[in-house]
């Protein structure tokens, strides 16, 4: 009896199957990501108030909720938006600046306690900021910064240093030290080397750090909930929570309208920094 032999799958057919599988996974992920966004957008255009009965694609769509957010005398939305922008911009700027100096010191200098400092950064990354909420509350209350945007900014900046400093330090390590040596031979000092050589080369990773720290105040709810008490100091996440928190004023459509607009400044910053982000994420993963 002749035994039938199985023909091996051709390379072209194998590549086609791999391509179909890849696009199928991308399609599923696209639906998972896009569906909540479309539902929230459709909900914000529904003229009603409730969550149930609202249409994903409303037939009688209206901008009444957006008009209320911006033009109503009873709306504090613009105040919340301003507070969130202040916290986001200040956090992004100060965190990026402090992280740059910290990462440069750990990357280019050898000093006593350097190794322990790096271990401390790794250790601090393992513990979420939620574990220190009580201590942070007592600390801010002691120094008189409770219920202030300044206190919130300080917590965000402090929490951003360990992980981001380790990330940027890895990027600085990938920049050849020969550039520093050549600059020193030409008479450049430490600050000139830092500002004129390393910082321009580190723009990709700095864009990543700036974007991540800019996004956090817009997305975070728990920390502002603990720190802020006055409605005039609320950030967007905390202010929008009031639309659905009160038992007698559940307004999910207005909440959806306010949530959609949160994406505007984040998208603007992302588009501005887009050319640096991909290379920054890839190169920052290399740690020396």
Over the stretch 45-97, which tens digit does the pLDDT of each residue have? 888 766 665 666 777 788 888 998 998 888 899 999 999 999 999 999 999 99
Q: Which domain holds residue 184?
A: 70-284
Q: Assess whether pLDDT exceeds 80 at residue 31.
A: yes
Residue 284: its pLDDT value, please? 45
Specify which of 143-157, 167-181, 267-281 reaches the highest per-range mean pLDDT: 143-157
Q: What is the rounded average pLDDT for all residues in the chain?
A: 83
Q: Assess whether pLDDT exceeds 50 at residue 168.
A: yes
Residue 193: its pLDDT value, please? 86
Domain assignment present for residue 48? The answer is: yes
Average pLDDT over residues 146-151: 94
Q: How far apart are CA 150 and CA 144, in angstroms?
A: 10
Residue of 193, 192, 199, 215 whose CA lies nearest to 270: 215
Residues 192, 209, single domain; the answer is yes
Q: How far apart are CA 179 and CA 198, in angstroms?
A: 9
Q: How far apart are CA 185 and CA 2, in angstroms?
A: 79
Q: How far apart are CA 91 and CA 213, in angstroms?
A: 6
Which CATH number do you get for residue 245? 1.10.3720.10
Residue 113: its pLDDT value, please? 82
Q: How far apart are CA 215 and CA 235, in angstroms?
A: 13
Q: Assess whether pLDDT exceeds 70 at residue 40.
A: yes
High-pLDDT (> 90) share of the chain, %: 23
Domain assignment present for residue 6? The answer is: no
Residues 43, 131, single domain; the answer is no
What's the residue count for the chain?
288
Q: Assess whether pLDDT exceeds 50 at residue 102.
A: yes
Number of separate domains in the chain: 2
Q: What is the DSSP letter of 66?
A: H
Domain assignment present for residue 175? The answer is: yes
Average pLDDT over residues 100-129: 83
High-pLDDT (> 70) share of the chain, %: 89
Residues 112, 182, single domain; the answer is yes
Residue 9: its pLDDT value, please? 61
Domain assignment present for residue 2? The answer is: no
pLDDT band (50, 70, 90) for residue 5: low
Residue 84: its pLDDT value, please? 95
Residues 127, 29, single domain; the answer is no
Burial of 239 per CB tally in 10 Å (0-12, 13-18, 19+): buried
Average pLDDT over residues 216-231: 90
Residue 245: its pLDDT value, please? 76
Residue 6: its pLDDT value, please? 53
Residues 48, 119, single domain; the answer is no
Q: How far apart are CA 248 and CA 241, in angstroms?
A: 14
Specify which of 91-95, 169-173, 175-179 reaches the highest per-range mean pLDDT: 91-95
Q: Assess whether pLDDT exceeds 80 at residue 11.
A: no
Domain assignment present for residue 216? The answer is: yes
Average pLDDT over residues 89-118: 90
Beta-carbon contacts of residue 60 (< 8 Å; ≥ 6 apart): 47
Residues 20, 145, single domain; the answer is no
Residues 78, 58, single domain; the answer is no
Domain assignment present for residue 1? The answer is: no
């Amino acid at each position: 009896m002749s035994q039938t032999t199985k023909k091996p799958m051709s390379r072209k057919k194998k590549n086609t199957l791999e391509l179909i599988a890849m696009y199928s996974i991308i399609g599923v992920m696209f639906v998972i990501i896009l569906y909540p966004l479309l539902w929230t957008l459709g909900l914000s255009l529904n003229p009603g108030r409730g969550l149930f009965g609202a249409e994903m694609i409303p037939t009688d769509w209206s901008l009444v909720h957006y008009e209320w957010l911006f033009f109503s005398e009873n709306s504090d939305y613009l105040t919340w938006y301003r507070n969130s922008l202040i916290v986001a911009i200040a956090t992004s700027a100060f965190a990026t600046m402090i992280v740059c100096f910290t990462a440069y010191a750990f990357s280019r200098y050898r000093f006593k306690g350097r190794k322990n400092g790096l271990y401390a950064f790794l250790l601090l990354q393992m513990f979420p900021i939620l574990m220190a909420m009580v201590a942070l509350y007592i600390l801010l209350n002691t120094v008189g910064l409770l219920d202030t945007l300044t206190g919130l900014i300080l917590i965000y900046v402090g929490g951003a240093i360990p992980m981001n400093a380790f990330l940027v330090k890895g990027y600085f390590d990938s920049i050849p030290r020969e550039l520093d040596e050549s600059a020193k031979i030409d008479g450049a000092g430490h600050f000139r080397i830092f500002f004129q050589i390393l910082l321009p080369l580190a723009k990709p990773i700095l864009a990543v750090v700036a974007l991540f720290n800019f996004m956090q105040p817009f997305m975070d709810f728990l920390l502002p909930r603990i720190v802020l008490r006055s409605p005039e100091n609320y950030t967007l996440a905390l202010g929008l929570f009031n639309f659905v928190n009160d038992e007698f004023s559940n307004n999910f459509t207005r909440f959806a309208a306010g949530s959609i607009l949160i994406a505007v400044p984040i998208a603007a910053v992302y588009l501005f920094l887009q050319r640096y982000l991909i290379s920054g994420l890839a190169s920052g993963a290399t740690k020396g």
